[in-house]
């Protein structure tokens, strides 16, 4: 229950950044869910915004709460995106993708004027890597791609990466909203996230990776009593 309060308080603090007329990217995951719910309350009280969801899960939640959505193809500017993270370090570098929405999350975050990360204190780390790094790959040749991902992580300084295809129902590979697979890369420590991101990005078959570097400019960490806001 403590984690839930911390997540909710972080989401509530993020509402203070919302202004009338904004186009807002809605993140995916348990913490982002609190933001969508808080935003729905503000909309019911008269706030006028339109939103772009980063996953089908978030789309369904937003629709159920009466949050107005707009197709991403009809958006020419996203003022603000609020999303969670699986890990965040002291430089606002992130690991995301635990909810298998990292491709759409990164597209929306990269297109936003401001990305705010909301999280509970357990997501704060000194060095990224304890949470397995998700890498989204095409189904075609994914075993070959997995070997290339392993080599890239080794080159970046990860000592003993372990690569596993994420499983869904029936023990079959999980399929993302974009029709791809997820490789979960257990790294323990990623000593140079920016270098690892660079190496992963050029591998044929890698659609996107869960290292979000230079995208988050505000991080809000919730607590039992409220939230702390960090600007970068």
Just list the catalytic residues. 105
Query: DSSP label at 173?
Result: B
Structure tokens of 227? 């939230």
Q: Which of 55, 54, 134, 38 is nearest to 87 (CA)?
A: 134
Scanning the chain, the segments in alpha helix (DSSP H) are 2-15, 30-44, 56-64, 102-110, 142-156, 193-201
Coil, strand or helix: which one is 191? coil
Query: Can you tell me the distance from the alpha carbon of 81 to that of 75, in angstroms, rounded to the nearest whole number?
Result: 13
3-state secondary structure 40-57: HHHHHCCCCCEEEECCHH
CA distances from 21 to 51, 64, 129, 218, 221 (A): 10, 21, 38, 21, 26
């Amino acid at each position: 229950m403590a984690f839930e309060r911390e997540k909710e308080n972080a989401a509530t603090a993020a509402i203070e950044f919302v202004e009338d007329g904004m186009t807002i990217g809605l993140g995916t995951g348990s913490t982002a869910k609190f933001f969508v719910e808080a935003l729905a309350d503000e909309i019911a009280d008269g706030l006028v915004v339109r939103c772009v969801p980063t996953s089908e899960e978030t789309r369904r939640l937003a629709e159920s709460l009466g949050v107005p959505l707009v197709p991403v193809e009809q958006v020419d500017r996203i003022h603000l995106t609020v999303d969670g993270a699986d890990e965040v370090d002291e430089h606002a570098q992130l690991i995301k993708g635990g909810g298998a929405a990292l491709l759409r999350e990164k597209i929306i975050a990269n297109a936003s004027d401001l990305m705010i990360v909301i999280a509970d204190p357990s997501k704060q780390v000194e060095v990224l890597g304890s949470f397995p790094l998700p890498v989204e790959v095409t189904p075609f040749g994914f075993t070959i791609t997995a070997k290339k991902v392993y080599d890239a992580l080794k080159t970046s300084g990860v000592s003993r990466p372990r690569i596993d295809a994420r499983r869904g129902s029936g023990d079959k590979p999980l399929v993302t909203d974009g029709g791809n697979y997820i490789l979960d890369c257990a790294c323990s420590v990623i000593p140079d996230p920016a270098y690892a991101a660079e190496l992963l990005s050029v591998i044929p078959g890698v659609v996107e990776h869960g290292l979000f570097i230079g995208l988050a400019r505000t991080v809000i960490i919730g607590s039992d009593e409220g939230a702390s806001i960090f600007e970068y």
